[in-house]
Amino acid sequence: MFSLEDFSRMADILAGIKGAFVLSINERPEVREWFGAFRFQSVRLKYTVGDGAAKPAEELIISSRKAAWRLL
């Protein structure tokens, strides 16, 4: 598990890389704050764990570059 400080640190590290990146992470207001310097696309999906029922969720796709097409 990542701590809250880990996400802030990850955003700082990603801001300093020379290449492009794509990150998929749970949609939460804090995530939008930490990664506010980048581009976002929210995706609705269903999580399934083991034999359990699928649960609706939102994932945030974060990238350093503009996507040429929709991801999903």
Per-residue pLDDT tens for 37-68? Answer: 999 889 999 888 888 888 998 999 999 987 65
Q: Which of 9, 8, 64 is nearest to 41 (CA)?
A: 64
In a domain, residue 50? The reply is: yes
pTM for the model stands at 0.76
Tell me how many domains the chain contains. Answer: 1
Residues 2-47 have pLDDT tens digits of 888 898 999 999 999 998 899 999 888 889 999 999 998 899 998 8
In a domain, residue 71? The reply is: no
In a domain, residue 40? The reply is: yes
In a domain, residue 15? The reply is: yes
In a domain, residue 69? The reply is: no
Position of tokens 């034999």?
51
Domain that holds residue 28: 4-63
In a domain, residue 68? The reply is: no
- The Cα 17–Cα 65 span in angstroms is 12
In a domain, residue 34? The reply is: yes
In a domain, residue 41? The reply is: yes
